[in-house]
Amino acid sequence: MHTSQPESQEPLKHIDQWDDFVAARYQQGKDASEFRNYDEKANPSVVEFYRLNHANQTLDFVLEKEKEFGQLGRGKKSIWAAADYLNTLVDDSDPDTDLTQIEHLLQTSEAIRKDGHPRWFVLAGFIHDLGKVLCLYGEPQWAVVGDTFPVGCAYSNQIVFPQFFAQNPDSLMPEYQTLYGVYEPNCGLENVHLSWGHDEYIYRVARDYLPEPALYMLRYHSFYPAHRHGAYRHLMSPQDEKMFDWVRKFNPYDLYSKGAAKPNLRELKPFYEDLVAEFFPAEIDW
Ligand SMILES: [Fe+2]
Ligand SMILES: [Fe+2]
């Protein structure tokens, strides 16, 4: 990990440890009732990562990060430059078996392409984790990855490790602990602040360029409490409900494509250059 954060803020050896934990939690063929067992078996770094995430993601923190990064003031960059930049996040503990970030993106998008899905869906797969460049801006792991959840209202017990919310200062704010908190019934997720991380950031970067279902995939792919467990429907609009079918369609490609053969970037590059150019200008705001 190349960040300027003190070590205590960086319990994961690499941010992919979080993705691997999620994939293990939802291992194919296991049902939801086994969910808690995976929690208990989580390794101590992952548990500590969630503790930090749940303790620090307050409504104020999220509002601050939305202002700091969500307004895309860090300059213009192409999708390719962002992908190359993200690829500098390498896990040196096991260089032979671990995938680079671009390889994970290509495995996801290639699995989507093989199933014959539309080009925008393939592209969503290819860029869905580019928001992890937040790590390279020096943000701590708990503000980049992790299952996302609404802040400013009661925490669902469908969120993994809910016990750690006791350490979040918002737990002591009664107005943030009612079912709706600062929100209105079925106000729509666009009016709800989710814990800050790579989903919201890449959504904001891509917002002007991709069709709505793709934007939902980017923005909510880590919102496991909702797309896997059906939590927070009381905040969702009918349009959210409809679009979550796409989020659920996307999720298995993200979780289960890792076993596939290592993609050959050189062979695949012409296809993805055309695909990126079809939807994005040469450079976009980050
Ligand atoms: Fe992700
Ligand atoms: Fe991913």
From first to last of its 286 residues, the chain has per-residue pLDDT tens of: 444 555 578 999 889 999 999 998 998 777 666 666 777 778 899 999 999 999 999 999 999 999 999 999 999 999 999 999 999 987 555 444 578 899 999 999 999 999 999 999 999 999 999 999 999 999 999 999 999 999 999 999 999 999 999 999 999 999 999 999 999 999 999 999 999 999 999 999 999 999 999 999 999 999 999 999 999 999 999 999 999 999 999 999 999 998 778 999 999 999 999 999 999 999 999 9
Distance 180 CA to ligand 2 centre (A): 30
- DSSP conformation class of 285: E
Regarding pTM above 0.75, the answer is yes
**CA 178 – ligand 2 centroid, Å:** 32
Ligand that lies nearest to the alpha carbon of residue 220, given by its number in the listed order: 1
> Ligand 2 centroid to 112 CA: how many Å?
13
Three-state DSSP class for residue 150 = strand
Alpha carbon of 105 to ligand 2 centroid (Å): 7
Which ligand ends up closest to the CA of 218?
1
Q: Which ligand number lies closest to the CA of residue 253?
A: 2
Q: Cβ atoms within 10 A of the Cβ of 239, count?
A: 13
Quote the ligand 1 centre to 175 CA distance (angstroms): 31
Closest CA to 143 of 44, 68, 72: 68
- For residue 252, report the distance from its CA to the centre of ligand 2, in Å: 10
Q: Which residues pair with 285 in a beta bridge?
A: 76
Cα of 113 to ligand 1 centre, how many Å?
A: 18
Phi-psi region of 75 (alpha: psi -120 to 50; beta: other; left: phi over 0): left
